[in-house]
Amino acid sequence: MNEVIVARIRFLIVFLLFSFFLSLRMFIESPYLKIYFLVSFLYSALLYYCFKKNILQEFFLISFLDEFFIFVFLYLIKGIEIKFLFLIYFPVIKEVIYKRYNSAYILSFLSFLILILFSIFITPFIPLKTSFSLLPFSFLIPYVSVYYSKEKGG
């Protein structure tokens, strides 16, 4: 049942981001953003269908794909991507929900490294200072989530 709820949240995030960018002029001008949202809708809908019919179970590769989609999204929205950096922690929290604590720490560390490389090589709009300031959160969010999950039992 958790898979269906997480799939709905994934679909809702994509839909809310789509509705936000629909109101901006940059969505009309960027064909890559249109393709991204089309692929994201199809990806989210396919995962929701598979989870609803119990064809597929949630595992680490899906979380890694979610992280990949988030970084592609950050790349495509040059100039305002710093407002959406919180999205990189969604797959980490999802791993904690499924009680895969080691995967949560690994995914958090990988997302931090990718963010550092992203800010150095790909986009100048995410300052390196901001990327390094997220280091405590990269380990604090999984640690607090794991502690709360073990302490409260859910």
Taking residue 50's Cβ as centre, other Cβ atoms within 10 Å add up to 15
Tell me the residue range of the domain where 132 lies: 85-154
Tens digit of each residue's pLDDT (9 = 90 or more) over 19-52: 888 887 766 677 888 899 899 999 999 999 999 9
Contact 72, 35 (CB under 8 A): no
pLDDT value at 154 more than 80: no
Question: Which one is predicted more confidently, 150 or 113?
Answer: 113
18 inside domain: no
Residue 1's pLDDT band, with cuts at 50, 70 and 90, is: low
Tens digit of each residue's pLDDT (9 = 90 or more) over 51-101: 999 898 888 899 999 999 999 888 888 778 888 888 888 898 888 888 888
Contact 134, 105 (CB under 8 A): no
Q: How many domains, the chain?
A: 1
40 inside domain: no
120 inside domain: yes
131 inside domain: yes
2 inside domain: no
pTM of the model: 0.86
25 inside domain: no
